[in-house]
Structure 1
Amino acid sequence: MTKVKLFFALFSLSILLTLLLSGLPINAIHATNEPPSWLLAQEQANEQPFEQAVQNSQKIEGLLTLYHHQKTGKVYLELTPEQLNKNYLCFISLDSGIGQAGIFRGLNLNEFVFQWRRQNNKVQLVVPNINFRTQPNDPQSRSVNRSVSDSVLYSLPIISIHPERKTILIDLSSVLTSERDLSNLANSFSSFLSSNYSIDPEKSYINQVQAFPLNIEIESVFGFSENPGSMRRGLSSLPDSRSFNLNVRYSFLEVPSEESYQPRLADERVGYFTSIYKDISNSSHRSSIVRYINRWNLQKSDPNAAISTPVKPIVFWIENTVPFEYREAIRQGVLMWNAAFEKAGFKDAIQVEQMPDDADWDPADVRYNTIRWSTSFQPGFSGYGPSHVNPLTGQILDADIMVESNAVAKFYEGISVLIDQNQQNNATQMNQNPCNLGRASLARLTSASHSNVSPDFSSEHLCFGFESNRQLAVGAMAMSLLNGVNENSSEIKDYVQQYLSFLVAHEVGHTLGLRHNFQGSTLLAPEQLHDTNITHSLGLVGSVMDYVPVNLAPKGETQGDYFPMMIGPYDQWAIEYGYTAITGNSLYAQGQALEDIAQRSGEPELAFATDEDYWGVFLDPAANVFDLSNNMLQYSQWQLDNAIAMWKGLESHSPTAGEGYDQVRRMFETVFGYYQNNAENMVLYIGGQSFNRSRVGDANSRLPFEPIPVNKQREALTLLQKYIFSEDAFQFSPRLLNQLAPSRWQDWGNPDADSTLEYRIGDRILRLQKSILEEILAPTRLVRLRDLELKNPSQNTLTMPELFEVLQNSIWTEVFQSEKDIKISGIRRSLQREYLNLLTQIVLREVNVPEDALTLAWYQLKQLQAVLDRTLEKHNNRMDAYTLAHLELTRDRIGKTLGAQLQTN
């Protein structure tokens, strides 16, 4: 009998005697023939000697001690008693992708605080609940611990305990390569992976293990195999769609000492990413929710100097995969931010280094901040700037920027036809592709697109990734078609350098903690946009954190900068808030100094609106993407005129000898998308309201909501009539239309291989008109128009009756002004049918609109019915067959709709 079992027998006997003497029933305690778990753990752990367990394994020492068995591929972790119950950070990213389906190299997969906790004969990997916290020595901490739960992700058996060091050995392999791996990889990309593929354990392995004093780096390779009965379409980026590999990078870090970093409270007037928790101990402030901004730990080397170099600057390394010709532009984009840091008291806060070709470190190593070059088959972004943050304090610890090579390569070839010509006869397919929809329809999809999916993979981000590429292509086309600039000229090269510097500056802003600012493009008046004396001193935009379009000059004006060449006033102010050294040992001691900075938010050049003010909202025309100037109506009109001029330029453009016509088709369609984007910008004025985050007492503070002036709303409606709905809006020569042939390569190298052979120009125009019309009459916009009459009692507002009347008169001009023979063109007939469809849906309650909108739609149909009666009676013999049949059918449909509406009431 072993000593353990002898001890257990004596222990059991003593318990039995105690129960008998106390009178308690013996079955009150569950009987067992096994020793207690803590004794069992010791015995089982010692069954395999430590040295035997790690035999033939490579010992790798650093922050933690690991053993990598090369033959079996297993990785063991040796934990000291001091490393138990201690906070660590885990950062997980995708180190390789497939370049398609939203699965791209460099994407963040997960990050969290965790602890190793021993429980009997196992070690648990636990994510502590840091969302609820108390101050030290607060007795409420006991309540918090019992009120909310931590999350136990894994419970791993102890392999062995070292007899001398008392260290614990566990097997990490299942944590790093199984279907339940730390990254939750199989569920990280919506339903694409989980529906079509599964992790194949036979193809998955741990590829690399590295240990450093401050971090552990492990790379796992996950092999995916196709599920039986998979309905997936072929992935063109793969040699065989039945299988692919993904490399996942795990970085484990010790949580930095809180003594070396002072968190800074967030303010919603200044756009920073935040780390948030609820302070249970807080009873003296209005809210117990605490938000820290995400920022780097910049400290002055000379605290007494007005401007000082930092103790530890932020260093970005340009990856050695970046083409030589783009490295200087990337460097300039990074260094743009030093101007802001100088105003915040730091000299050379950001530095740029070039990664050597023979570097012995990996760009994914969290010790290095890198700017990496990605080459994807179907990229969903032009740039991507994630950072890794300590969620306990908001301190940024590491950042990596991905630049997509397709953002700058081959302007025309890189622009796919966003609206698949092959979908024109399939309304269901077309409506399921958000890139084909206007903003009103996109708003209805926003909540669904964010459900259980990282925003970086969501549909609207994918669409506007394409829009960025389209902007770059449009600028190059304008230079060629309007100004005769050769594709290989130095001017084109400078143009690309400007774009790349701006793109990198935008992504660096994210890595500094800054969120998007979709009001950043409203700094200058339209006539100032091409005055380089202004744009090189003040900036082209208030913030490079906006999605900025190419800045094309109108006809007759000298072209200025195409893209921002410096950060803007908002960027400098935001860095001042986040990084200026402020005295005070506590968060709230710094409060007044931060408040003094934030109170400037009402200044026009510091206007701020971020993602939640734009996506799915579309309320404020100034909170917008790919717009420019403080008078967007004038700017958009300029761009619509530029688009028309480019179409005219294509009429005289012919491919050079030996080239096909598919490039003409691509250019034609690219301009169409540009035209639509600028028209959509105008729609935002109708029923629009400006929104600001100013607080009482701020400089230039205003009420949060202000209606867009009625003259601006009417101007927008007038411009839409001219550029979208009028008879003369789309005029193309037969010669141009007969050049629109697609590439006939039927393989994965042609992104438009599924396009229809002929370009269906009538359908293309109608889709644009339908999109704009649906946005104007969107239920949300009609509700806003109704409510604006209450918010603006002076009656100086655009009313729903006026909107309906203007639309009907402009779309049915031929019958309302029928003094002569009537001939309605095919494009106008299609538009009129769509208008009738929309009003019919409203009248029959197929859409949820205000009752007044339903009444007005009914009234407009009655008015139109009466006009059609008179027109058909007066001009019956003076119409072509198309027009006569169209008007007869329209009158018949209106009668049936009004009759059906009476029955539903």
Structure 2
Amino acid sequence: MKNISKLLLVLFLLISGVSYGQKKSKRNAAASPAQTTQAAKPEKKSPFKKYEDIVTAEAVSDDGLFKVHTVGDKRYYEIPFELLNTDMLLVSRISKIAEGLGGGYMNAGSKTNEQVIRWSRVENKIHLRSISFRSVANDTLPIQLSVSANNYDPILAAFSIEGFNADSTAALIEVSDLFLSDNPSLSGLSVGMRTNYKVRNLDRARSYISRMESYPENIEVRHDMTYNATSPPSNSKSGTISMEMSQSMYLLPEVPMQPRLHDPRVGWFTVRQIDYGSDALKSDVKTYIRRWRLEPKDPEAYARGELVEPVKPIVYYLDPATPEKWRPYFRQGIEDWQVAFEAAGFKNAIIAKDAPTKEEDPDWSPEDARYSTVRYVASTTRNAVGPSVSDPRSGEIIESDIIWYHNHLRSYRNRYLLETGAANPSARTLDTPEAEIGEMMRRVISHEVGHALGLPHNMKASFAYPTDSLRSATFTQKWGLATTIMDYTRYNYVAQPGDEGVRWVRMLGPYDEYAINWGYRYIPGADSPEAEKETLNQWIAEKAGDPKYLFGGSNSFDPSSQTESVGNDPVKATRYGLANLKIVAPNLAKWTTKPGEGYADLEELYGELIGVWSRFAGHVVTNVGGVYEELKTSDQEGFTYQPIAKASQKESMDFLIQDVFTTPEWLLQKEILSNIEPSGAVDAIGSMQSRMLGNLLRRDRLERMIENEALNGNEAYTLTAMLSDLRKGLWSELSGTKPIDAFRRNLQRAHVERLVALMEQDASNRSDISAAVRAELKFIQSTAGSASARYSSGIMQYHLKDVEEMIESILQGE
């Protein structure tokens, strides 16, 4: 039994040893390289695809700023890492537009947004940010940390990196969603349009990318966007708004152009920055003018005073849609500015070219950010505009698109007839001679190009010329109608019948050469905006005291800065203009009707005739309570603001009472009114007179008159004197029993209503206006009450009683 037990023990030990040996061998096997490979966990799969799996053999690729790829319905950007965190300008435009979108003032080519963008990498994503340069500080200053922290730029979109190119110097991202989603910064629909047209959403199924091309300095994308809308501007039953958007991404210069500091005494469009690194004891607002980068090819010759071509001239291409007969005038309008650039030392600085044909350049497009164009738009809108795109870092204009709307011709034809027809026989027709229409178009293009060069309106330019000089052929042919094409001095409405050889249409003038020289002349040796300042100031000082070189934007208080005015005497100019309109009115039917045709043109021209008269009258209104503004610096003599002389204000008031607020019998042409409408003349003329009255009794005007009296005493035309003169003029019939016609009754009621409105405006902070207006109302109430008894029963008596009771009710209800 013992022997059996020993035998079993030996067998157990043998079995245990074999088992141990097997486990040990497995452990040893696990430690061997071969066994390790088999047993280890599989490596983590890369999140990136191989380049060739993305950009397949079927891909359509285009090389340029970025490589761009179309693979089926997917679009890719191949972004070089060296271009990450680089400033680029993204310009969004509507390249094809729905009819009526935007109320007529948007068109194919309209810009909807411009923004500086940067592409950046954050781990495995590429971010697209919109960058602002409104708040700045030098990168070397500590405060830049705070500027950056308090002006964090928004991320417009984020993209997963799909893969890399062969040498891993560029990342591939799919950008389809950027252009097929409703991103507000790329959209053609504003918030207001979305509300107005009741836009519900973007329909991605009906939206697509139609073009994506890369050029050395820019990438161009076209994408169709279709929206579901309850109230679209056209094709209402479709419930749809479709448009094609153009996105131009343009590489900005690595080194921005040296900015030029703005001086408000010379008119320029500007960009503004808040500089927190300034030595001023506050954040310093830096304002730079917007201008093209013009640098002389031969700096040494330029420094010697020779005319030199710029390294890169300004080139405008004419839209292929421009009618052939108008192209010469468009070219002239563009290249008229060469004379102004010669004043700045440059020759051939601005050039007009025809757009290349499809055969010459199949890739040319007016939406391409590399090209500036004059677009000819098939639209009923009567307008033209001259926008531009600029680098917010420096004010450098990158490109621009002048827009001419087809029906703008109609506006110029009509006003040419109305404003010059009395003295200009060739204007007395709806078929204006082609050469004269062409001359008008030329000057409109020049005006819009001026905007695109950086110049705003200068409404003070017309005031530089004596009014009677505009009746001189010698003067007007040499100097034009104003000192700049940038004024709204479209026609010479001062010239009278018999003034032979005068110029009728505006042109460039001396201010244009002065402003272009000031903004564009290269100043050798001035290596910063501050270094240029002394020279720029000296150029202004040299012209001090000469009205030809003054600048002023339009405002409501300065009679020397008004739109559509001519000459330096608003009363005299308006008298001349009114004399001409009194000749035009009785001839309007003869000049605008043709056998076998209706009276639509006559109706249109008659309405515009009232509008012209209203503008003329408005120039005189501005004299009352007016203040001249002449921008100055502290080292210049004189005052910036100077009230209009008392005698001039009184003369203006007398003119308004006699020629504006008296019924304009000359406008009541039976041959016109009996053919264009069953009624409406009373309302049309009444509305014009009421607008003039409302303008005259503006609160800010009355406040200026109060202040003028406080500062200048008896030298001022006072508020009470003006209100008294107005009342005596508007209610003059009440001194006897003169008939009060329908036009006058309307005006008298409007007078009372406007005085009441002034009292209501003054209710929360009563001033001298309330006291003076209340006194006027009592005078009118008393006079109307007394006069009503002198009239027999009828509408005139009813009118006066109504006025009396209306005022009584108002005064009792205070």
Equivalent of residue 808 in structure 2, options 880, 895, 899: 895
Equivalent of residue 537 in structure 2, options 595, 613, 633: 595
Equivalent of residue 770 in structure 1, options 687, 690, 695: 690
Q: CA–CA distance in 1 between the matches of 2:459 and 2:165?
A: 58
Alignment of 1:800-879 (within 5 A): 800-816=719-735, 818=736, 821-843=737-759, 851-873=767-789, 875-876=790-791, 879=792
Q: Secondary structure at the match of 1:624?
A: coil
CA contact (8 A) 2:473 2:501 kept: no
Compared CA separation, residues 284 and 481, structure 1 to 2 (3 A): closer
Residue 717 of structure 1 corresponds to 653
1:63 deviates by 0.6
Q: CA–CA distance in 2 between the matches of 1:728 and 1:323?
A: 42
Equivalent of residue 522 in structure 1, options 444, 453, 463: 463
Q: Secondary structure at the match of 1:536?
A: helix
Equivalent of residue 254 in structure 2, options 254, 257, 268: 257
Q: CA–CA distance in 2 between the matches of 1:837 and 1:139?
A: 61
Alignment of 1:224-373 (within 5 A): 224-227=227-230, 230=231, 235=234, 238=235, 242-258=239-255, 261-283=257-279, 288-305=284-301, 306=305, 307-358=307-358, 359-360=361-362, 361-373=364-376
1:323 deviates by 0.9
1:779 deviates by 1.6
1:773 counterpart letter in structure 2: L
Residue 14 of structure 1 corresponds to none
CA contact (8 A) 1:159 1:170 kept: yes
Alignment of 1:439-478 (within 5 A): 469=411, 472-477=413-418
Residue 551 of structure 2 corresponds to 608
TM-score by length of structure 1 reads 0.79
Residue 647 of structure 1 corresponds to 585
Compared CA separation, residues 706 and 129, structure 1 to 2 (3 A): same
Q: CA–CA distance in 2 between the matches of 1:523 and 1:492?
A: 31
Compared CA separation, residues 651 and 65, structure 1 to 2 (3 A): closer
Equivalent of residue 107 in structure 2, options 104, 111, 126: 104
Pair 1:783-2:703 in alignment: yes
Q: CA–CA distance in 1 between the matches of 2:85 and 2:758?
A: 62
Residue 49 of structure 1 corresponds to 50
Q: Secondary structure at the match of 1:113?
A: strand
For residues 316-338 of structure 1, the C-alpha deviation after alignment (integer angstroms, 9 at most, x for no partner) is 11122111111111111111111
Residue 401 of structure 2 corresponds to 400
1:608 deviates by 1.0
For residues 157-183 of structure 1, the C-alpha deviation after alignment (integer angstroms, 9 at most, x for no partner) is 222234642532111122223111542
Q: Secondary structure at the match of 1:798?
A: coil
1:295 deviates by 1.3
1:114 counterpart letter in structure 2: I
Q: CA–CA distance in 2 between the matches of 1:387 and 1:860?
A: 51
1:703 deviates by 0.9
Residue 718 of structure 2 corresponds to 799
CA contact (8 A) 1:481 1:650 kept: no
Residue 444 of structure 1 corresponds to none
For residues 772-810 of structure 1, the C-alpha deviation after alignment (integer angstroms, 9 at most, x for no partner) is 1111112222112111212323x2122111111111111
Q: CA–CA distance in 2 between the matches of 1:52 and 1:148?
A: 40
1:739 deviates by 1.4
Percent identity, aligned pairs only, is 25
Compared CA separation, residues 188 and 495, structure 1 to 2 (3 A): farther
Alignment of 1:630-709 (within 5 A): 630-650=568-588, 655-698=593-636, 701-709=637-645
Equivalent of residue 629 in structure 1, options 544, 567, 571: 567
TM-score by length of structure 2 reads 0.88
Compared CA separation, residues 115 and 735, structure 1 to 2 (3 A): closer
Unaligned runs of 5+ in 2: 1-42
Q: CA–CA distance in 2 between the matches of 1:558 and 1:192?
A: 55
The structure number with the bigger radius of gyration is: 2
2:673 counterpart letter in structure 1: L
CA contact (8 A) 1:518 1:608 kept: yes
> What RMSD over aligned residues (CA atoms) do the two structures have, in Å?
2.7
For residues 595-631 of structure 1, the C-alpha deviation after alignment (integer angstroms, 9 at most, x for no partner) is 2123335531112123xxx3xx511122221111112
Greater displacement, 192-201 / 125-134: 192-201
Equivalent of residue 134 in structure 2, options 114, 131, 137: 131
Pair 1:200-2:136 in alignment: no
Residue 563 of structure 1 corresponds to 505
CA contact (8 A) 1:85 1:115 kept: yes
Q: Secondary structure at the match of 1:45?
A: coil
2:654 counterpart letter in structure 1: T
Q: CA–CA distance in 2 between the matches of 1:396 and 1:248?
A: 22
Q: CA–CA distance in 1 between the matches of 2:91 and 2:107?
A: 17
Residue 391 of structure 2 corresponds to 390
Equivalent of residue 506 in structure 1, options 439, 447, 451: 447
For residues 47-83 of structure 1, the C-alpha deviation after alignment (integer angstroms, 9 at most, x for no partner) is x3332223332111101111123x42x3211122222
1:382 counterpart letter in structure 2: N
1:812 deviates by 0.9
Q: Secondary structure at the match of 1:222?
A: strand
1:472 deviates by 4.0
Q: Secondary structure at the match of 2:120?
A: strand
Residue 618 of structure 1 corresponds to 556
Q: CA–CA distance in 1 between the matches of 2:808 and 2:749?
A: 15
Compared CA separation, residues 343 and 480, structure 1 to 2 (3 A): closer
1:284 deviates by 5.8
Residue 547 of structure 1 corresponds to 488
Q: Secondary structure at the match of 1:52?
A: helix
CA contact (8 A) 1:175 1:181 kept: no
Pair 1:180-2:180 in alignment: no
1:488 deviates by 7.4
1:211 deviates by 1.0
1:121 deviates by 2.3
1:294 deviates by 1.5
CA contact (8 A) 2:209 2:221 kept: yes
Pair 1:122-2:35 in alignment: no
Q: CA–CA distance in 1 between the matches of 2:685 and 2:238?
A: 37
Q: CA–CA distance in 2 between the matches of 1:491 and 1:849?
A: 55
Q: Structure 1 stretches (4+) deviating beyond 6 angstroms?
A: 486-491, 846-849
Residue 223 of structure 2 corresponds to 220
Q: Secondary structure at the match of 1:571?
A: helix
Compared CA separation, residues 144 and 828, structure 1 to 2 (3 A): closer
Compared CA separation, residues 517 and 478, structure 1 to 2 (3 A): closer
Residue 85 of structure 1 corresponds to 85
For residues 199-256 of structure 1, the C-alpha deviation after alignment (integer angstroms, 9 at most, x for no partner) is 32122111111111111111111112213xx4x6x53xx5866323222211112221
Q: Secondary structure at the match of 1:244?
A: strand
Compared CA separation, residues 651 and 490, structure 1 to 2 (3 A): closer
Q: Secondary structure at the match of 1:364?
A: coil
For residues 18-50 of structure 1, the C-alpha deviation after alignment (integer angstroms, 9 at most, x for no partner) is xxxxxxxxxxxxxxxxxxxxxx9x95532x333
Compared CA separation, residues 494 and 142, structure 1 to 2 (3 A): same
